[in-house]
Every structure is written in C-alpha cells, then in structure tokens.
Amino acid sequence: MAKQSFHGPLQRVNDCCWRIPKSYKPGMRVDGLIYASEQMIEQIKGDQAPEQVANVAFLPGIQHASLAMPDIHWGYGFCIGGVCATDPDEGGVISPGGVGYDINCGVRLVTSNLSYQDVKPHLAELVDQLFRHVPTGVGRGGKYKFNKQELRQLMQQGPAYLQDRGLTTAEDLEHTEGRGCLDGAISDFVSDRAIERGSGQCGTLGSGNHFLEVQVVDAIFDEVAAAAMGLQKDMVCVMIHSGSRGLGYQVCDDALKQLRGVPERYGIELPDRQLACAPINSPEGERYLGAMCAAANYAWCNRQLLMAQARDVFAQVFGRSWHELQMNLIYDVAHNIAKLEMHQIGGRDRRVWVHRKGATRAFPPHHVELPEAYQSIGQPVLIPGDMGRASWVLAGQVGSMEQTFGTACHGAGRRMSRTQAVKQAKGRRIDQELAARGVIARARSWKGLAEEQPDAYKDVNTVVDVVHRANLASKVARMRPIGVIKG
C-alpha cells in the first residue's frame, strides 16, 4: 500500500497549504488540508498518505478539516503528521490510529552552560559514557524498577510520582507539556501484559527513531525568544526522543483488538479498518482513553528518567553537578497523543479531542496552559531532524490556533521506508559517514543506523520553513548534532 501513489485532487489553497475537497469521496465529512510547499507536494503524492488524510475525514464528529503537517508520510490508520479534532457532543469518536502505537512518543530539550569548545575534547568519552549508562535497544531494561502497584501509581501521576525519589524537580514539571500528566488516566484499564512489558523499561531509550543527542546551537533566529528559553549560540544541549516503550505498544494493541466490530455496532462506516474507533462517550471509548492517558503519563516518566541519567553522565564526565552545569529542561512535548482541549470552532469555544499522530502542540503566546516563562513568546516547539543535519526550536504562534488546533510538525518526516533505507545503505558505514560530518554515533546495530541514516529523511529545514511561513510556529534556534546514541 505504501508504494502506491495518490491520484486524487489536491487544490492549492496558498503557498503552504493544499486541499483535498470533501467531494473527493462520498462519506467525507470535511475537507483534507495538507501543509506543504509546492516542491514538497510532489514527493508527498508518492505514497498513500494523502489518501489517509481523506479517510480520516470520515470520522464522526470531526471538526474543521482532516489535517496533515509537512512531515507527512504513510502510517497506521492516520498518516504520520496527521491531526484531527472530534467533538464528543456531536458523536465524536476516539481512534487509536490517530495516536499511534508509541503513545506519547515525544521530545525534550535540556540546556547547559557548556560551549562546544568545552565539550569537544571530551566528546568521544561523553558519547561513550552515555551509550554505556543509558539503556538502548529493543526490549532493553534499565536500572529503575517498579512493581505492579508502583507502576499503576506512576501511570496515574506522571513524573510528579518521581519527586519523592529525587528524580524530578518542580521546575522539570513546570516545563513539561501538561505538567507531564493527563488527568483522565485510569491505570486499571492497562492490561497485566502491558504492565509486564513496561515494568523494567521506564528510563530506557528503545530503538527505531528514538535517540539521545548532544547538540550545539549553531544559529539564533529570535533573540528574545531564545533568551526566554535560555538558549545561546554555541551552547551544548541534549535532546531526548522516546516514548512509552513496550507498555504503550501493548495498550494500543489491546485497544485495536477490543475495537474489532465496534464501529459497526455503533453504525459507523469507515473506508479503512485501521481507523477502528469508538464514540468518546461509549464504554469502549472511555476504556481506551483511560489506558491511553495512563500510557502517556508513563512516557513522560520515561523521558524524565532518561534526562536524569543524561544529567548524571554529564556530571561524571565534567566533574560538576548537573545543577552547576545548568542542565535545565527547556520543554518536553508529546507528539503521539489525544488530548481534550478548548478551541474556537464556528465562533464559539468548544471542548474537542485533538488527535496528534506525529504532530506537536504549538500553543501561542498568552495561552493559559503555558508556563509563566513562555507566556510572552509562545510554547517551545521541538523539531528533531536527522543525525546528520539539524534540529530546531520554534515558538507557537496564533496561526496554529486559527488553522490547526494549535499544532505544528514533529520532525523531518521519512522519505524512505526502513527497508528502503537498509537496502540503500548496503556496503556503507553510516557511522563513518557521520563522523566525517563531525557527529559521533553509537548504536546497538549497523541496521539501526542504516534505517535512520540522514538520507532516509526529508530535509528538516524545508519542513520547518513551511511551518514558519504558515504562521503555525516561528523559528527560534537551530542546533547541529555532534553526538548521538541509538538502539
């Protein structure tokens, strides 16, 4: 399916947006809107991701449009980069395909008072120590162990649960999206199998596109916003990308099994079985939401513990505490999640469930959910690129609330499947190619690096440019990678 091209209509709305009219397929309730440049749209039509945008428009209760960000590519049910909002008061549904298997996969960025010149002589040692002490790889467990009761408490509270253990601070919580906790979590809805899979994995990186990266701020585009975030040119930062590990995967898998036949039971007709869903106010919908929120809270704990281990390694290598190194959390954003949010639709405020599947919240200045430090500039939006080019920090803008339910892209977006990337990398040493670019990479396998090679991804700079020009989020700073660990 992913190899087929899209042959449906794509009408140009403006320089950054393209419409799939709801007349394209009988059953579409709203238009599809894809954010992309003219140059990018040809590549986007190369697989079935736009068809998935059209299919999402069938969901009951969907508002405004079925949306896709410029990092769009084919996924399960929803495309990666897919966004939609459903209104429970209009029979709105919740769809696991609109969240993804890795529930609350997300990114956090940590500052330091170290410059590139400070770190350069110690970079190889630093990356090796990170690789040694931060667990990476498929199924790998870590040093933090939680029994069944503890894990259920952790899933109810998020990273606040870790405060008594000295593993999080009030400032860390303040600078985590939603303070790292979705109130709707019901850990009793998480299966014993999911608990078993997650019991030893909190504080582990995992595999695939997950990473822990040492980066250098190489350009500042907004001095005021950068200062508010604590970013300076030549500063060394740490970016962490991971999610809910085996626990979240199992929650999604369990839900998809439980939802078999459920749409038909409620008279919901879908063009794709992967869009399996349930009305939000149904027992099946409530059960998935309770488990999904619990897995999301687990993911925030996972990234918190990964950051704690990174802080410890930096302290060990540089002989100063992480406090002395000023390793402060700028922000943590989720990009595989559904959240109940207030948005203005049709001239009035309405509470809707916003599905973000490979998409990042991008709330503008003065939004009630932002920390005080970011009220004047907008929410930090963290956009990882690839191991060889760059990652970005943006700030949410008012256009996101007007156009995309407060949403921007979440990364560069793949342009090759993992299979294609491995085939293309045959006979090459990706680690040596990265070293030639000034990036020290450590991974559990050659295949892991091959799958995630820079050529497998779109150029993040062009993706970010669309988001910036569309006024969804504005450029603040660009970081280049210098060291990365992966599964």
Q: Catalytic site residue 133?
A: no
Listed range (139-143, 254-258, 261-265, 431-435) with the worst mean pLDDT: 139-143
pLDDT band at 139 (very low <50, low <70, confident <90, very high): confident
What percent of the chain is modeled with pLDDT above 70?
99
Which candidate, 131, 83, 29, 87, places its Cα nearest to that of 431? Answer: 131
138 has a pLDDT exceeding 60: yes
pLDDT band at 157 (very low <50, low <70, confident <90, very high): very high
Looking at residues 433-451, what average pLDDT do you find? 92
CA angle 171/401/29 to nearest 5° reads 130
pLDDT band at 487 (very low <50, low <70, confident <90, very high): confident
Tell me the fold of 11-486: tRNA-splicing ligase RtcB (3.90.1860)
pLDDT one-digit tens code per residue, 415-431: 998 999 999 999 999 99
2 has a pLDDT exceeding 50: no
Tell me the range of 172-186, 415-429, 434-448 where mean pLDDT is highest: 172-186
The pairing of strands 31-35 and 65-73 is parallel
The predicted model scores a pTM of: 0.97
* Of 343, 355, 410, 468, catalytic: 410
298, 197 in Cβ contact below 8 A? no
For residue 142, the model assigns a pLDDT of 87
Which candidate, 16, 67, 21, 54, places its Cα nearest to that of 405? Answer: 67
Which candidate, 410, 408, 383, places its Cα nearest to that of 479? Answer: 383
The label of the residue with tokens 């402060």 reads 328
* Average pLDDT, rounded, for the chain: 96
For residue 1, the model assigns a pLDDT of 42
